[in-house]
Amino acid sequence: MRFVASLLLFVINRMPNPVTVLFPAEWQPQSAVQLTWPHEETDWRAMLEETTACFVAIAMAIAKREKLLIVCKNATQVIQQLGNIDIGQIIFREMPTNDTWARDHGAISVFIDGKPSVCDFTFNGWGLKFAANFDNQIVRNLFQSGVFSQHAAYLNSQHVVLEGGSIESDGQGCIMTTSRCLLSANRNDFLSKDEIELLLKQMFGANRILWLNHGYLAGDDTDCHIDMLARFCDAQTIAYVHCDDAEDEHFSELQEMERELQAFRTTVGEPYRLLPLPMADCVVYNAERLPASYANFLIINDAVLVPTYRSPRKDAFALQQLQRAFPDREIIGIDCLPLIRQHGSLHCVSMQYPENFIVENSEDQT
């Protein structure tokens, strides 16, 4: 604990004192969403055309409702791919990238005493599984490029490995996460569970941490990111992956996860409203089952973008369930079968930034 305490003091001493930290929920007003665009030097090169089409569909849906920040290798090429879109809604930043998983290499946004603050944690390729040397520099490069509000602070948090897909915030001081990810050996093995919990509370102003110890999806490279399994829809509602097929390899683990969710309590001590999402039909690519998940949706201003997998019955049911969770938002299905071939989906390739984080008329660097 002594080492962790010194780390926390190092971080806290760089903040105003005393501080109030707010980690916004995804459904709160946003200024922009980041996409990191696929190119021929990423793992998408063998399927670049269909993957790009998926990114274009996501970009179109976002740009109709808010600013879109595109990190890319070549902005001119991306503009040609986008076709009929309002370019005025898009901010481009050119820089080297390893891959496209903005959820995990993008900035995690908090307000510190009301001031926008950009947290730059280390991204190490999900526990040293993949190269991330360029991706780990994206947040710093974005900050230096002037894309964030002039009032935003840069919080260098690279002493800790943390990915955006590994944590869920209800916007009221509660974080939901999984022990398999945050306690994995190749991320922060020098920290115990209690120490990581203390760190989350200090960095994000949390007063409660909900830990899931069960639940997984075959083919998931992330060591069980929470955004593949269970998601806050509001402070009282959690949508989660449910499996009712006893022959499915996920059945036992997801049943145990469901029991854990049923035992969770809200801030006022009530059970959460739980909305089951269907277990996606089995998707196999190169003889490997892939982690297709309807929980990997993205909440944006006035809409929810939901991954679909060309399974008409289950796609329709997932959209219906999420309409129950978000009755005042448009529910938009986007074919993400290309994305799942690289073991991620819609939420994984995006990162939202809350209101007052992104400069409205940021000068493009193309």
CB atoms under 10 Å from CB of 247, counted, come to 5
**Region of residue 127 (left: phi > 0; alpha: psi -120 to 50; beta: else):** left
CB 110 within 8 A of CB 119: yes
Other Cβ atoms closer than 10 A to 27: 20
Tens of pLDDT, residue by residue over 60-97, are 999 999 999 999 999 999 999 999 999 999 999 999 99
Residue 277, classed as helix, strand or coil, is strand
Report the mean per-residue pLDDT for the chain: 93
Residue 7 has pLDDT above 80, yes or no: no
Q: Is the pLDDT of residue 366 over 90?
A: no
- The pLDDT-based confidence of 17 (bands split at 50, 70, 90) is low
| Class for the domain spanning 21-354 | alpha beta
- Alpha carbon distances (Å) from 84 to 18, 63, 232, 284, 365: 49, 11, 33, 33, 21
pLDDT at 306 over 90: yes
Q: Is the model's pLDDT at 243 over the cut of 60?
A: yes
Tell me the pLDDT tens digit for each residue of 263-303. Answer: 999 999 999 999 999 999 999 999 999 999 999 999 999 99
Q: Average the pLDDT over 18-28 and give the result.
A: 92
| pLDDT over 70 percentage in the chain | 93
CA–CA dist 6, 214 (Å, integer): 32
Q: Is the pTM of this model over 0.85?
A: yes
Q: List pLDDT tens digits, range 314-323.
A: 999 999 999 9
13 or 38, higher pLDDT: 38
> Dihedral, CA atoms, 45, 51, 52, 53, nearest 10 degrees?
150
Per-residue CA distances from 163 to 97, 114, 120, 341 (Å):
16, 23, 10, 20
For the segment 326-334, the average pLDDT, to the nearest whole number, is 98
Give residue-wise pLDDT tens across range 156-185.
Answer: 999 999 999 999 999 999 999 999 999 999
Distance CA 297, CA 307 (A): 6
pLDDT at residue number 359? 82
Look at residue 6 and tell me whether its pLDDT is greater than 60: no
Task: Give 89-142 pLDDT, tens digit per residue.
Answer: 999 999 999 999 999 999 999 999 999 999 999 999 989 899 999 999 999 999
Using the CB atoms, write b or e for 288-318: b if 16+ within 10 Å: eebbbbbbbbbbbbebbbbbbbebeebbeeb
72 to each of 63, 99, 177, 283, 302, how far by Cα in Å?
16, 10, 30, 29, 26
Q: Is the dihedral of CA 96, 98, 102, 108 positive or negative?
A: negative
